[in-house]
A = this chain, B = another copy of it.
């Protein structure tokens, strides 16, 4: 089954599916700034577009271009900014 998820009034939407390594989602983030909490560790890949990310406990925002990724520990959080509609892959591992 392909699950459908929405956050922040539809400014972030994702589709959930299963892989042999665990759950994943692909989604789209609208321009704006958002904060996400994590239960599992999350490996976030930018598929198209660009994200600017601030991991919990860090002071510097990181620019994550298409083809790059970042990791968020379990039971943590991260802030993310987008200037353009950005597609991402999130792997819950």
Contact = CB atoms under 8 A, between A and B. Distances in A.
Decide if the interface of chain A is mainly helix, strand, loop or mixed: strand
Query: Nearest 6 A-B pairs (CB), nearest first?
Result: A17-B85, A26-B26, A26-B87, A2-B28, A2-B13, A17-B28
Contacts of A84: 19-20
B28 A85 contact: no
A89 interface: yes
A46 to B, nearest CB: 11
A15 B87 CA distance: 9
Contacts of A49: 19
A30 interface: yes
Interface centre among A1, A20, A47 (most CB of B within 10 A): A47
A16 to B, nearest CB: 8
A91 to B, nearest CB: 8
